[in-house]
Chains A and B, each alone.
Chain A
Amino acid sequence: MKVVLEHLTKIFPSRDKDKSAEVVAVNDFNLEIPDGKLIGLLGPSGCGKSTTLFMISGLQAPTSGKIFFGEDEVTTLAPENRGIGLVFQNYALYPHMTVQQNILFPLQNLKGENRLSKEEMLTRANEVAKLVQIDKFMNRKPSELSGGQQQRVAIARALVKMPRVLLLDEPLSNLDARLRLQTREEIRRIQRDTQITTIFVTHDQEEAMSISDYIVVMKLGVIMQTGKPQWVYDDPANLFVAKFLGTPPINVFTGKVENEKLYIGDEAVLDVKGVEDQEVYIGVRPEGFLLNANGKLTCSVSGIDVMGRDISVVSTNAASLNPVVRSIIAADEMGNVAGEVKFNLKEHKVFVFNKETEERVYFGKQVAAHEEMVAQMKAEGQNVTPHNGPLPREADDKVQDNRPAEQQQGFSGKVKGAFARVKGVFTKKKGTAEEEAQSAPEETADKAESEAKE
């Protein structure tokens, strides 16, 4: 069952009449989810991913926009008539019922023609229980099961009435690390076996990357990028996506493009043909560093984390916006790492973002690679430009400069900060109302989401 979301918007009204206190949890959300795929909605808390899921489930009504399951519009349909299965973050298993009663419950609610005989219900429950491998525990109460087993019961309960769409709200967040790994494989397997279109919400990028066919990265209710996990990792559309994906996180430097050369600090690190002069942020994946005695980027080493096969070099650079620069290199080069190190950068691991818009600036081979990916995504029916207008920003949402003030270039940190704030006020005045709504502080969005969940 294909799921289509058209201009989906959810606004939580403020408690009083003050319009500016409204929270736009989901903002003009357009997405087409192909039949039988597993989609991960990914984003920091308060980005509206759970709200989106609850709107698809029917537990929350959208402020505007439409939801389609296949060709049917379901926007105003009650949850029980949508044919969805929903797994809650803390499972919401009925504590007073046994596993079997829990799984049978949705079937027992069916009425009229859909009503099954008792034997059919039991067979169906047993089938589903086998699928999720909890058939041994049918007579236990949820409290007598481990977290992972409870999770599977919850999935079984969601699957038993053969939903058209399966929705999972942070299904792994209550499990320990080992179980999480195991359960996410399990979810992937069950989804493949049943071929049910599945949408799953998480704030854990690793989780989303590992099991999703597509991921949708969200921020402040707006889609930042969609695509296959590897694409999104390899070709982030903006600074937010680049920073959100990847462990260890991407290294962000401040720099500039001048005469088709990319500068980190004062060091020209790469040639960027065809790129206009501008102030930029430069993101470099930890695996994008090459140790080289004549390297173009100089960093001073402050430590080494040994990881076996690789080592992670922790160093500092004046232009880095992160407190430290993390680079992963092969372990046999450890001997060369001390004091000052020089790196060359792998071109395809370096992402350049315009400082104003934080949108990606493609250069060199990246241009062709990006175009190829876009073409592929279009062929698979994915929307390529998910957000309309400028990227959502919070009022004070400047990229954080974590360096000590004296290291920051140009004006001192304080003056620079004040300048940025003044500029923020100006652009805000010019911006549309929509922009203003988008810039609602994340805190309130967070609150609204947790309230909505309740």
Chain B
Amino acid sequence: MSKTKEKPKNNWRAWLYLAPALIILLVFTVWPIINTVRIAFLNSYNGLAERGGATFEFGFYNFEYVVSISGFSRSLGNTLLITVITVPVSTMLALLIAVALNSIKPFRKIFQTIFFLPYVTNAIAIGMVFFAMFHTVTLGSQTLSTGIINSIIQAFGGKPVNWIDAGSSWGHNMAVVCIYIIWNALPFKILVLLGGLQSVNKQYYDAAKVDGASRFRIFWRITVPMLSPMIAYVVITGFIGGFKEYNSVVGILGETMGPAGGDRQLNTMAGCIYDSLNDGFQGYAAAAALILFAIIFAVTMINLYVSKKKVHY
């Protein structure tokens, strides 16, 4: 700060270099955000109508409306549940896999590649693969063909389960979506945690070995605390991602946000926003987006507060 004050003549140059990024950010990020806030407080705002010269009153009607529609509370519930299940489970799995990967030498690269596949593959494409895996085609009471999951269940003598097809239950849908999200979330978390593990000074492990700590204790008392900054990062980004979850549900269940012919039983918060957009009421969508933002903001604040207390150094 003080440096720029000492040499103000160089300022224009700094702005010049920053200009391309700033302009793009202003046009495509800052302005849309401001506009979203504006729209959210204009009752029943509709872009087309505004073009036609209509004016809208300032007020909270959009928020009242969004909260009152029946799909909203269910979407909120689904989103919360997805987040609460997938973030801890995927973090713990990623931690175990990262530690395991870090302790093997011969096939590390191969395993790293395998675990990383979901990260480089399109989410919708993987969703369709999941759909095929859990899909079952029936005609009346007759099963024509089953996906691999049901085949496995049958091979072990179980009855095929209707995971995602018409008439399937909310619980089954949710299970498939959660499995998908956890699997899809692993690579990034493994990558971050593995990087963290490799930067931990080996001497701590030598010291712990001399101190006679068991493997389990080394994991809990050395590895986990040493990784706590990375774990906090992964959890916080996981929560944010979880609240914005949308494309996994679309990928598996399609735009119906639930089994075909159902009542959008697996809709999420982000789904709600898109629904409002599809209905042409940008005002409702903006209000829903602001509500989602407020929730994510609050949860992240809580996360940061907790991690400040729990994360070491």
Contacts and interface: CB of A to CB of B under 8 A. Distances in A.
B212 A88 contact: no
A88 B206 contact: yes
Interface stretch (A92-100, A301-309, A422-430): A92-100
Given A94-B222, A109-B211, A109-B212, A59 B206 contact: yes
A110 interface: yes
Interface in B209-240: 209-214, 217, 221-222, 225-226, 228
Interface in A138-193: 141, 143, 157, 161
Interface string A91-122: 01011110000000110111000000000000
Given A88-B206, A141-B313, A96 B228 contact: yes
Contacts, number: 63
A196 B278 CA distance: 79
Contacts of B211: 80, 105-106, 109, 157, 161
Given A105-B221, A106-B212, A109-B214, A92 B206 contact: yes
B204 A92 contact: yes
Interface string A76-90: 001111001110101
B21 interface: no
Given A105-B221, A141-B313, A94 B210 contact: no
B226 A96 contact: yes
A406 interface: no
A92 B201 contact: yes
B209 A79 contact: yes
B209 A59 contact: yes
Question: Looking at B212, B217, B313, which has the most chain A CB atoms within 10 Å of its CB?
Answer: B212
B210 A57 contact: yes
B120 interface: no
Contacts of B206: 59, 86, 88, 92
Interface residues of A, number: 27
B213 A84 contact: no
Interface in B174-230: 201-204, 206-214, 217, 221-222, 225-226, 228
B269 to A, nearest CB: 36
A105 B210 contact: no
Contacts of B213: 80, 105, 109
Contacts of A109: 211-214, 217
A96 B197 CA distance: 15
A371 interface: no
Contact of A84 (B208, B210, B217, B226): B210
Interface in A50-80: 57-59, 78-80
Contacts of B226: 95-96
Question: Looking at A84, A88, A110, which has the most chain B CB atoms within 10 Å of its CB?
Answer: A88
Contacts of A16: none
Contacts of B217: 108-109
A332 interface: no
B308 interface: no
A18 interface: no
Contact of A80 (B203, B209, B313): B209
B108 interface: no
A80 B211 CA distance: 6
B313 A92 contact: no
A94 B212 contact: no
Nearest to A81: B212
B203 A88 contact: yes
B238 to A, nearest CB: 22
B109 interface: no
A95 B217 CA distance: 16
B229 to A, nearest CB: 11
A86 B206 CA distance: 10
A161 B212 CA distance: 10
Contacts of A108: 217
A108 B212 CA distance: 9
A57 B207 CA distance: 11
Nearest to B214: A109
A161 to B, nearest CB: 8
A454 interface: yes
Contact of B202 (A85, A105, A161, A454): A454
A161 B214 CA distance: 16
B312 to A, nearest CB: 3
B102 to A, nearest CB: 14
Contacts of A80: 209-213
Contacts of B212: 79-81, 106, 109-110, 161
A86 B226 CA distance: 21
Contacts of A161: 211-212
A84 B212 CA distance: 10
Contact of B204 (A59, A94, A106, A143): A94
Interface string B97-123: 000000000000000000000000000
Given A92-B201, A96-B225, 8 more contacts: A80-B211, A80-B212, A92-B207, A95-B226, A95-B312, A109-B211, A109-B213, A109-B214
Of all A-B residue pairs in the complex, the 10 with the closest CB atoms, nearest first, are A96-B312, A80-B212, A106-B211, A96-B225, A92-B203, A92-B207, A109-B212, A86-B210, A109-B213, A79-B210
14 contacts: A58-B210, A59-B209, A79-B209, A79-B210, A79-B212, A92-B201, A92-B207, A94-B204, A96-B226, A106-B212, A109-B211, A110-B212, A143-B313, A157-B211
